[in-house]
Amino acid sequence: MPVFTVSNRLCVIMVGLPARGKSFISQKIVRYLSWLSVPSKCFNVGHYRRLMGTVHPKAAFFDPDNEEGLKLREMAAERALEDMLEWFTAEEGIVAILDATNTTRARREWVARKLRANSIEPMFLESWCDDQDLILRNVVELKSTSPDYEGVESEVAIHDFLARIKKYEKIYQPLDESHDKELTFVRLINVSQQVIINRIESYLESRIVFYIMNLHIKPRYIWLSRHGESIYNVEKKIGGDSHLSPRGLQYARKLPEIVKQSAGDANLTTWISTLVRTGETAQFLPYKQLQWKALDELDAGVCDGMTYYEIQEKYPEDFKARDDDKFEYRYRGGESYRDVIVRLEPVIMELERQENILIITHQAVLRCIYAYFMNVPQEESPWVSIPLHTLIKLEPRAYGTRATRIKADIPAVSTYKERGSSQLKDPQ
């Protein structure tokens, strides 16, 4: 990934009626870019409107003829924009997302002008959808997650939300290929059945477009597991390409049953690394299997095959440097967590495109994948606990991912190294 500077600053302005998945897309873009170390943040105008006191507004509030409502929403948008500009400067931000409805041309022109005056490139991202089933599903999900409808009876909330959409429809002007041809924009039609792009120029813009083209919203799960306990794990050595221990093999035998309990009759695909221990762990699973070199364990370079104790003795400075900044530290002749993220990016992209996938791989690699889905801050991600003989089920949803851990109840050594120690012990 190139290094980005002030000249790359970009604001993605969401466009579209309510319940078109705008917040979902905004959250995903922020998570993806942050994971790749691009400073990004989402500014939700609805959130600012609520801060200003309109906590449970009725649909009438959103009527374009309701002057008071209009004024409040304009103020909310201005505050969101002010905070965004402040963030660009104070936090050296690169990509901001303005999550609002922005249904009129006049509004869009106002935002674009303000951004350009601050040397921020505007890029419009419209989610347009007339698939009524999909919209209704979104409305049902939103009324149960939106703070606007906290404590409101379900039927009432849905009815009100649909009325709110009607208010916006009155003035909605979708992006238009001829009228808006000077603007940088992306239009998603029915999620990604059709994607129209216009004047996409910078590297970051094309990266974002490519990413959202790969997203889908079908319900699905992702299961993650480390390989079973290996001979090297038992000997407290890192890296290598050893076989499973007898307990590791026991886990491999039990895995099909545990997965079936969690996945039912779903037809999964299993992804493994090219190392012996992941293949051995997957050998009894009845699913199609795919091997990825990119899923191999973080390369420990000259320390491969050593115990942490030996590393501390032989390379004390490296041992300390790694504890001080585990994300950036690169083993001599090996890799850092940052390096692993770079090679995992195509895996994440493919994972977004797929439905039910079971990944059997290694501790550091799983930490990176887990951090992407669970929004774990970069400096914490190398310290996430991913114990052996545990299946993790991820459920991506509209606002974030839910994770469940299923223990196989087969003992294994701990491979968790605490900061400042060469001892291995699971965090409590």
Ligand X SMILES: *[C@@H]1O[C@H](CO)[C@@H](O)[C@H](O)[C@H]1NC(C)=O
Q: Which stretch binds ligand X (CB under 6 A): 69-77, 307-315, 345-353, 401-409?
A: 69-77
| 227 in active site | yes
- The site map against ligand X for 348-387 (x = CB under 6 A) is ----------------------------------------
Contacts with ligand X in 242-301 (CB under 6 A)?
Answer: 267, 269, 288
Task: Output DSSP code: residue 271.
Answer: E
Q: Work out whether 77 is an interface residue with ligand X (CB under 6 A).
A: yes
Q: Work out whether 68 is an interface residue with ligand X (CB under 6 A).
A: no
Looking at the DSSP bridge assignments, the partners of residue 407 are: 390
Judged by CB, which is closer to ligand X: 269, or 401? Answer: 269
Q: Work out whether 101 is an interface residue with ligand X (CB under 6 A).
A: yes
CA–CA gap between residue 11 and residue 116 (Å, rounded):
10
Q: Work out whether 7 is an interface residue with ligand X (CB under 6 A).
A: no
Own/partner contacts of 33-36, CB < 8 Å, gap of 24 or more, are 33/94, 33/95, 33/208, 34/375, 34/378, 35/341, 35/348, 35/371, 35/372, 35/378, 36/1, 36/341, 36/345
Residue type, 161: F
Q: Which listed residue (74, 141, 328, 350) binds ligand X by CB under 6 A?
A: 74
Least CB distance to ligand X at residue 361 (A): 19
Residues 6+ away with beta carbon under 8 Å from 325: 379
| 47 in active site | no
Is 387 in a helix, a strand, or coil? coil
Number of residues that bind ligand X (CB under 6 A): 21
CB 150 within 8 A of CB 50: no
Q: Work out whether 164 is an interface residue with ligand X (CB under 6 A).
A: no
Least CB distance to ligand X at residue 62 (A): 8
Q: Which listed residue (19, 45, 142, 368) binds ligand X by CB under 6 A?
A: 45
Judged by CB, which is closer to ligand X: 82, or 131? Answer: 131
Q: Work out whether 206 is an interface residue with ligand X (CB under 6 A).
A: no
Q: Residues 63, 126, 180, 227: which is the catalytic one?
A: 227
Q: Residues 148, 160, 280, 297: which is the catalytic one?
A: 297
CA–CA gap between residue 73 and residue 284 (Å, rounded):
58
CB 406 within 8 A of CB 258: yes
Q: DSSP letters along 184-196, please?
A: -EEEEETTTTEEE
Residue, CB closest to ligand X: 77
CA–CA gap between residue 85 and residue 222 (Å, rounded):
37
In angstroms, what CA-CA distances link 54 with 74, 77, 216?
13, 14, 33
| 297 in active site | yes
- The site map against ligand X for 105-144 (x = CB under 6 A) is --x---x------------------xx-------------
Count of beta carbons in the 10 Å neighbourhood of residue 175 = 22
Binding site for ligand X (CB under 6 A): 45, 73-74, 77, 98, 100-104, 107, 111, 130-131, 168, 189-190, 193, 267, 269, 288
**Which residues are tagged catalytic?**
99, 227, 297
